[in-house]
Structure 1
Amino acid sequence: MQARRIRKMIRKGNAAEAYLRYEQIPSRKRSAIDGLLSSLEHERLRQGAREAERRRAAKRRREEERRARSRAEAESERERVRRAYEDDLERIARVRSEDGDAAKEAARTDWRVEQLDPALDSGERERVRELRKTAMWGAAVRKRLGCTRTELDRWDADGRLPHGIKRTVPAPKTTPGRKWFAEDVEAAAERVERWRQIDRERKRARRTRLRAV
């Protein structure tokens, strides 16, 4: 039965597959198979063995290349993270040197508070925790300010009320979400009407320019 299958594969030109099947036969049973094959079929089997080895070598090369690419990508990602971490620490230090709010700058990053130890003192670390804990999603901000999504997006984009934290929101479709620091929202509550007045004036100015054209 095995001999017939092997011979059929050889006749169809599948010498490598024939050899792989031959290779699976226990050694003690191969002599019986050998006696049923012609010298030409044995030669085809030897050719199949060489082809099978070439395929195995090619597969090993591809696998090694894949592993090498994976190692290179992992190393590249580690280097990217390391540079991003160092850049964030430098930026926090620069903000402090300019008498800015280093804790708020640190709270904007994706690093855990423990990872920010080199850049912050104990008071700043506690402030980072509080800023992140009390940060508000857009819906809560709109409710507090009584504004629309369009207004909030506009104030975020033009820097009047920039979001402090960007986080990925798990949902049926994963989307990036924004959070605002509560203290910024409270400060903005007193400015909303003035901002709306500015927006109305800008809108009127745009319409005037369009009519002039």
Structure 2
Amino acid sequence: MAGLAGKAKAGRGGNTSRKGRLNGAAGRRLDWVSTLASKGAGTLQPEHLRFRRRPVGSKTLHLVLLDLSASMLRGEKLAWAKGCLLALTERFYRDRDDMAVIGFAGEQARWLQPPAKARAFNADWIAPLRGGGGTPIQPAVDAVEGALRRCPPGTRATVWLLTDGRFDPLPVRPEGVDRCCIIDFENDAVALRRCQRLAAMWRGEWVRAELFASAG
């Protein structure tokens, strides 16, 4: 990774400031999710690097859909997903973005955190979350669409789906979403690969959970 960082740095010209080293060209930051999705199962190379530029004056709302169903209890997937959720909330706070979290299990989806400015400390409500029951993905998607209809014009919306993909049928992409990121926690002996199929349907990015976690 250090060697790769050196190659990426060399390819950015004469920007030697700390901000430049971290973010690449002015106004850009390394987008780890898009980078990991581009890398896939291969070795990380400079051509896999993806950067993001925040549009001037834009407001970003991150909507996290957390699978709390019974299948997420196998292999400690839910504990793993809660750790990834905590890392995401820290990122949203650093970027001064808005966030919302929807948990879905049993027969319904519910707001764990309604849309609001991301706050600094989230472990107190993430740690106690419990799982069980079915996987009602469609009500979670419906909740996303309802929230977006109430957003101010110009809001950029990103959906993060944290799941093992143990649901059928696959829902259609939520209307009004600018970006979809699917973090795949499937580690079962029989792989259904529904997260990959859903990412293709949603024209989104698919990242295995272990890669996302290792990127920090």
What's the TM-score once normalised by structure 1's chain length?
Answer: 0.25
Greater per-residue strand proportion: 2
Q: Which has the higher contact order (CA 8 A, sep 6+)?
A: 2
Structure (1/2) with the larger helix percentage = 1
Highest Rg: 1 or 2?
A: 1
TM-score, length of structure 2 as denominator length: 0.25
